[in-house]
Amino acid sequence: MQTHEIRERFTRHFVEAGHADVPSASLILEDPDLLFVNAGMVPFKPYFLGEQNPPYPNGTATSIQKCVRTLDIEEVGVTTRHNTFFQMAGNFSFGQYFKEGAITHAWQLLTGPQEDGGYGLDPERLWVTVYLDDDEAAEIWEKKIGVPAERIQRLGMADNYWSMGVPGPCGPCSEIYYDRGPEHGREGGPEADDTRYLEIWNLVFMEKERGAGTGKDSFEILGDLPKKNIDTGMGVERVACLLQGVDNVYETDLLRPVIDVAEQITGARYEGDGQDAIRFRVIADHSRTGMMLILDGVTPSNEGRGYILRRLLRRIIRSARLLGATGETLERFMNTIMDTMTPSYPEIAQNRDRIVRTAVAEERAFLKTLESGTHRFDEAADRIKSAGVTTFSGEDAFTLHDTYGFPIDLTLEMAAEAGLDVDVAGFEAAMSEQRARAKADNQAKKHGHADVSVYREWVDDNPTEFVGFSELTADAKVLGLVIDGQSVTHATEGDEVEVILDVSPLYAESGGQTADRGRLVADGTILEVNDVQKIGKKLWVHKATVTAGGIDLGQAVRAEVDPDWRHGARQAHTGTHLIHAALRQVLGPTAVQAGSLNRPGYLRFDFNYTDQLTPEQLTEITTIANQAVDADFAVNTIETTLDEAKKMGAMALFGENYGTDVRVVEIGGPFSIELCGGTHTEHTSQIGPVAVLGESSVGSGARRIEAYSGMDSFRYYSKEAALASGLAASLKAPTEELPERVSQLTEKLRAAEKEIAALRRQQLASRTGELLAQAQQVGEITVLTHRLPDGVSGGDLRTIATDLRGRLAGKAGVVVLASADGDKLPFIVGATKEAVDLGVKSGDLVKVLSGHVNGRGGGKPDMAQGSGSDAAGLDAGFAAVRDELARR
């Protein structure tokens, strides 16, 4: 049974049982605890936490959620069950059915005949576990389902008690296992061998609330939840293993085709469980995860989600190289995994070109990194050998891995070729320290989620009614006051307070649009609102300063939006839609939005694209946007269902978790139609001119356009016009001739600079004889240390040092030169062949000099360069170099 059919059967089973079919959320939700969605229940957290009421008519839902877990990337492929990307099929009940319903649903699907829509698993091979004292679940399994008591095992809190890792809902769980047979391990059930007995489904009975604590079993149970909920998760990939009759997830219909392509590319064979087999699995696993992350808008970078993607893609590349690949590989891997995944994720088809382009750009960049890392490795290996040591230190290996992105596998292989061992234990210790720091950081972030508990009493009972789409003022009642995280009944002048109202016209920050500014006023009371944030997507929290009087719980106030602020914000946000539409016209549909920021008069727009935009493209984008302004398009807002919005062709943003009802913003018919909850102008002419400032890179495969709107755009153009007029007056040329005149002046200046540089080099070269006369004899070596006049560049230093070294040919000679060039102090060390034969290494001497001038540098034994910032230490540095040579 193919994986996409397994998914379809799961969804059909629960939809026929009355569950709402909920599409998978994006992998990159806005969640303070998570880089990526890592469990099927994550999109439903607001309902389990009590922040929102579930919007499903029957109080039940089902989904097949795409998930990514990357805590143990290095372990991928070592075991055959671990994937960084996986699909979690789940069914959820919010106060409806409980243990018996969840158990019955799961059993019927797993054991139901395939001809009736089930999976047809042999019930005699299914085992279950329950929590230690969960007699109710054990009785349901034995008495109502018919599982023999000997196949029901009770496990402790660490195994069979679930929580999100933070204060909130929790409860016992029951896990379903499949016995794969004696060839896979020893008898005795899941508690004896969880390799033979494969866990395929976890049923969580969410009925308690937990307190603070760390670990899986070191927290207090506070009491019962108001409602008993169900959260289950079935591993799609693990069920596929069983129904396809393969040993592990890498041999299923989704991943095995990638391994087959890897065999073709590398010439190696996938067999056994050695290092080569692990590399094949890494390629297959990471290709799928990388593709799905790019699909959901992640681009490679050096931090956050982008860093995880970069690590995954680079592990694919180096695994392929270690298997024998010599050229680029990611395009074929990506195309193969997209072929296997498209039946389940049709949106891959329209994003195919963008995914391949992003992956290939990262591969080409990493191949250059490998060259740099190889150079660094060679330097370290030379240093180690010259010291008479045979072990490459763990610290050096970790620096190559962490700083230069150089994989430890390649370090091990190259060290073996160089006759060196690697201190793997030292490397692992450094890696463990890094993981511990990352884990501590993640744990610290998790506690941040508990801070919203102070708002919980208002979230469901008193959602804020937002009237700001049509009104700039509103009469409201104060429902809550919060100071320093504590609920209070009064705030006085000077207090910073968070105010919760029943009605608000002030826009809360979301969708890239900054929050409104405004005021809350009453008799003798004024609060300046400087920020508005949402809690649980439905409660408006107004962050304000009491500037006059005081405010009480239950008080009536008038909420007012600063009209100038709102006007500028509407212009910028609507202008963003115009830029997006223009961008897609110029670059095509693969230029996908990756984020935005709108504030009065200014907008920035991030999009996934690998190439720098040309001046002509920027001009065309600006022209199209301003043509839309001039066309005075009507800006229409339509409230409809998510399904209807998609049928209309509305574009959605990555990372947004949309509800069943959405707001569509349509501009000029087909010109622009997007899902958007922001505030907008009524017509595009109200935006005013749009001035594109330029575009830049914000990471591998991601670009950013910045622009002004409205009066800020007018002021920008006025300033540019004044600058051009002043320049034209200075050059006595018409404005339209300025580019040519400036180009001519620039060429003249460059020619003059080259002539001056040539004269300087000639002048310095004429002094080489004079300089050599200053050389000193240090043992067997002739040493020249000299500070040249200020302003000599690093390139000129190299030319002079090469000349002087040439004049010392035939004898053991060392040349050390430096010159202050602005705030920098470039320096160079050159050694003749005879000096190198005596053991002199210019790179080592550069390091000696660096220590005295606050610098760094490196190079080869015969020539090395560096740069420092403390010219006062230069004489001491020269002396240290001579002392170092004297010790030889």
Return binding residues for Zn(2+).
Answer: 573, 577, 676, 680
Please provide the size of the chain in residues. Answer: 888
DSSP 75-98: GBTTBSS--SEEEEEEEEEESS--
Measure the CA–CA gap between 884 and 831, rounded to whole angstroms. Answer: 14
What is the spatial distance between Cα 113 and Cα 513, in angstroms, rounded to a whole number?
A: 52
Closest to 700 (Cα-Cα) out of 350, 430, 439, 309: 309
Point out the annotated binding site.
573, 577, 676, 680
Q: Residue 451 and residue 32: Cα distance in Å, rounded? A: 11
512 three-class SS: coil
Q: How far apart are CA 424 and CA 420, in angstroms?
A: 12
**Residue tagged 């420092």 (tokens):** 868
Q: Which residues contact 371 (CB under 8 A, 6 or more apart)?
A: none
Residue in 29, 33, 51 with CA at minimum distance from that of residue 539: 51
Give Cα 559 distance to the centre of its chain.
38
Exposed (0-12), middle (13-18) or buried (19+): which is 448, by Cβ within 10 Å?
Answer: exposed
Strands 20-21 vs 60-68: parallel, antiparallel or unpaired: parallel
C-alpha–C-alpha distance, residues 162 and 41, integer Å: 12
CA 490 to chain CA centroid, nearest Å: 42
Residue among 572, 887, 876 at smallest CA distance from 713: 572
Q: What is the DSSP string of 305-355?
A: HHHHHHHHHHHHHHHHHHHT--S--HHHHHHHHHHHHTTT-GGGGGGHHHH
252, containing H or E segment: none
How large is the angle between the packed helices 408-417 and 352-386, nearest 10 degrees?
40
C-alpha–C-alpha distance, residues 554 and 121, integer Å: 60
Please choose, from the candidates 27, 85, 14, the residue with its C-alpha nearest in 3D space to the C-alpha of residue 56: 14
Residue appearing with tokens 């139901």: 112
State the angle between helix axes of 304-323 and 352-386 in degrees (0 to 180), rounded to the nearest 10: 70
Query: Amino acid identity of 565?
Result: W
573 close to 680: Cβ distance less than 8 angstroms? yes
Give bridge partners of residue 519 from the DSSP assignment.
528, 560
- Taking 3-state DSSP, the helix, strand and coil percentages for the chain, each rounded to the nearest 5, stand at 45, 25, 30
CA dist 764 and 788 (Å) reads 9
What tokens does 633 get?
């398009």
For tokens 């049709």, the residue is: 346
